[in-house]
Amino acid sequence: MLKLNKTLLLASNSPRRQQLLRDAGFEFTVKVKDTNEDFPKTMPVEEVPAYLARKKAEAFRDELGSQIILTADTIVVIDKDILNKPKDASEAREMLRKLSGRQHQVITGVCVMTAESTESFIDIAEVFFRELTDWEIDYYIETCRPFDKAGSYGVQDFIGMVGIPRMEGSYFTVMGLPVHKVYEALSKYFVN
């Protein structure tokens, strides 16, 4: 395990983020606080994920101590529209039809906060979907239940495996945590 000079707290319920951080060699605890995810409607879409990640980190401001708080937020953007987590199967189907045969962006924002400093950043990946059939979309929604995923899909799930012929950028950013950038941000806390 990588040794840090502070304890690391991941403020995310996402099993994918937890697995990625674990696989990258970090020891951490998980704690989540409900945070209002509203943002100014006039904010440029590429600023939204870092804004929301920072908002999630700010919820821990009073209990920072000697911890590093790590938060993240991922959005899917197509035609300048943000596709959030779907409310139900009907909304998931609508989102996947919109993404079918098209290119879109996945933007993950990250915030690393300590008592001494706050750093936030984004990473962007361009994702290309082939045309998806109604059967594939319905099968995916039924078997993978993508209701906790921005844009109604997980790149590591069935629809990502069969429907994404290529992407430009980090696979892990699309999964929800740009590990290369998180590693770089946390490297200043390494104990040699």
Domain of residue 58, residue span:
7-189
2 in a domain, yes or no? no
The 10s digit of each residue's pLDDT in 95-112 is 999 999 999 999 999 999
- Report the domain count for the chain: 1
185 in a domain, yes or no? yes
1 in a domain, yes or no? no
Residues in the chain: 192
Is residue 147 predicted with pLDDT exceeding 90?
Answer: yes
Backbone angles phi, psi at 27, to 5 degrees: -100, 135
Beta strands in 17-169 (DSSP E): 29-30, 67-78, 81-83, 103-113, 118-128, 166-168
129 in a domain, yes or no? yes
* CATH number (domain holding residue 72): 3.90.950.10
The 10s digit of each residue's pLDDT in 2-17 is 999 999 999 999 999 9
β-pairing verdict for 81-83 and 103-113: unpaired
Q: Is 73 a catalytic residue?
A: yes
Is residue 192 predicted with pLDDT exceeding 90?
Answer: no
128 in a domain, yes or no? yes
51 in a domain, yes or no? yes
Is residue 37 predicted with pLDDT exceeding 90?
Answer: no
77 in a domain, yes or no? yes
The catalytically annotated residue of 73, 123, 138, 157 is 73
The three-state secondary structure class of 62 is: helix
Q: Determine the pLDDT at residue 39.
A: 93
Q: What is the mean pLDDT of the segment spanning 115-119?
A: 95
